[in-house]
């Protein structure tokens, strides 16, 4: 992927923030989603939003796994839905538990390495869709998706035709440390905790005694939050154990389905030095590591469009073109 940021967005933070808040997401009308509620294997639920545009019954289905605290309303989800519409593909956005606007019921939430959750969701899509299934995971969702692909090995090809991760923290410890420092701590960490902490407290109301309320209220970074909430609720000893075992990077050598890992080298909280190189991945994995783009940013002003405010279509168009080439 060749990407050059607009001259008026010179750094990773500006490319990240502007893309999320100001750039255009789609051409024409906004994507419209229809929600379906799926019962999970543990009798909890997952809400899946299906884009309501025309597509043939046997057209490819693009499954978009969102990032931390994301949803079908995230800028990248709407952008991917718009690109799917332009290709005549179906598109669906499954929500990780607690991210659809309604708190899930079980004494758990979601986490970066939940490949079991990815597995049953993708297998259900495979059973009910007549055409090929391709999947893209963004940020946290991409790590979980790649973790699944590595875990499944050759079996993944019976479920999906191809997968892609976008700006994913494939080394969770490196990214967790980066987001907890300096500007990242003051801006991105605070943004995430602003929604994560209240949801965790509601989970405690559902299941009294699940964790230490005062310890959670004292959390000021994602390490502390994961140490108190995410790790113990999902079977990990602590945040260090969670970040080590849930990271997809050590499993990329076992991927046996066409896969793309796209990471900008100036991503504010996915350090370039933590990204996989050719020796870290199987021959099925393609690495795209452009110099610019930020974190799920890639704002652009294509020919024929006004240079300001730009849009975020260039990344989903490139990723979807990769997936299309595998069909």
Task: Write down the pLDDT at residue 300.
Answer: 87
Region 252-278 average pLDDT: 98
Is 97 in contact with 39 (CB distance < 8 Å)?
A: no
What stretch of H or E contains 93?
strand 90-94
Of 5 and 129, more confident: 129
**How far is C-alpha 25 from the geometric centre of its chain's CA atoms?**
17
Contact residues for 215 (Cβ-Cβ < 8 A; gap 6+): 224, 228
* pLDDT tens-digit series, residues 290-303: 999 999 999 987 55
* pLDDT score at 304: 45
Angle between helices 115-128 and 140-152 (to 10 degrees): 80
pLDDT above 80 for 235: yes
* Domain boundaries along the sequence of the chain: 12-171+254-325, 173-246
- CATH code that applies to domain 12-171+254-325: 3.40.50.1820
The pLDDT, as a whole number, for residue 56 is: 98
Residues 248-282 as b/e (b if ≥16 CB within 10 A, e otherwise) read: bbebbebbbbbbbbbbbebbbbbbeebbbeeebbb
Catalytic positions, please?
Answer: 139, 267, 295
Burial class of 316 by CB neighbour count within 10 A (0 to 12, 13 to 18, 19+): buried
Query: Tens digit of pLDDT for each residue in 178-217?
Result: 999 999 999 999 999 999 999 999 999 999 999 999 999 9
User: Model confidence at 7, in pLDDT bands (50, 70, 90)?
Assistant: confident
Q: What is the mean pLDDT of the chain?
A: 96
Q: What mean pLDDT comes out for the span 224-252?
A: 98
pLDDT class for 8, splitting at 50, 70, 90? confident
Average pLDDT of span 225-253: 98
Task: Give mean pLDDT, residues 118-133.
Answer: 98
Give the confidence band of 1 by pLDDT, cuts at 50, 70, 90: confident
- The model's confidence at residue 309, banded by pLDDT at 50, 70 and 90, is low
Q: Band of the pLDDT at 306, cuts 50, 70, 90? A: very low
Contact criterion met (CB below 8 Å) for 299 and 10: no
| 2 Cβ contact partners less than 8 Å away, ≥ 6 residues apart | 290
pLDDT average, residue stretch 3-20? 92
pLDDT at 258: 98
pLDDT band at 266 (very low <50, low <70, confident <90, very high): very high
User: ∠253-285-73 over CA atoms, to 5°?
Assistant: 115
Give the model's pLDDT for residue 301.
74
Which of the four pLDDT bands, split at 50, 70 and 90, describes residue 308? low
What per-residue confidence (pLDDT) applies to 100? 98
- C-alpha span between 258 and 274 (Å, rounded): 22
β-sheet bridge partners, residue 166? 138, 262
Sign of CA dihedral 66, 69, 71, 77: negative
d(CA 57, CA 210): 44
Q: Is 51 helix (H, G, I), strand (E, B) or coil?
A: strand
């Amino acid at each position: 992927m060749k990407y050059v940021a607009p001259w008026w967005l010179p750094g990773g933070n500006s490319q990240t923030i502007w893309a999320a808040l100001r750039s255009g997401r789609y051409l024409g009308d906004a994507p419209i989603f229809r929600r379906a509620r799926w019962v999970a294997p543990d009798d909890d639920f997952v809400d899946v939003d299906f884009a309501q545009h025309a597509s043939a019954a046997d057209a490819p289905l693009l499954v978009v796994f969102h990032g931390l605290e994301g949803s079908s309303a995230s800028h990248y989800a709407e952008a991917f839905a718009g690109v799917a519409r332009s290709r005549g593909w179906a598109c669906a956005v499954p929500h990780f538990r607690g991210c659809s606007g309604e708190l899930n019921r079980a004494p758990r939430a979601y986490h970066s390495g939940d490949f079991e959750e990815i597995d049953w969701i993708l297998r259900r899509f495979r059973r009910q869709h007549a055409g090929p299934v391709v999947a893209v995971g963004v940020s946290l969702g991409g790590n979980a998706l790649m973790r699944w692909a590595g875990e499944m090995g050759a079996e993944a090809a019976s479920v999906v035709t191809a997968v892609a991760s976008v700006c994913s923290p494939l080394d969770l410890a490196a990214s967790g440390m980066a987001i907890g420092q300096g500007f990242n701590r003051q801006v991105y960490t605070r943004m995430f905790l602003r929604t994560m902490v209240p949801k965790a407290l509601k989970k405690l109301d559902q299941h009294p005694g699940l964790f230490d309320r005062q310890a959670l209220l004292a959390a000021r970074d994602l390490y502390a939050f994961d140490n108190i909430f995410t790790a113990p609720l999902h079977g990990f000893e602590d945040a260090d154990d969670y970040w080590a075992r849930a990271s997809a990077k050590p499993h990329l050598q076992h991927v046996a389905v066409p896969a793309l890992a796209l990471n900008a080298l100036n991503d504010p909280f996915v350090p370039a030095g933590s990204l996989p190189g050719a020796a870290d991945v199987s021959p099925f994995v393609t690495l795209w590591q452009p110099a610019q783009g930020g974190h799920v940013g890639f704002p652009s002003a294509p020919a024929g469009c006004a240079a300001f405010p730009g849009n975020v279509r260039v990344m989903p168009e490139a990723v979807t073109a990769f997936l299309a080439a595998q069909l």
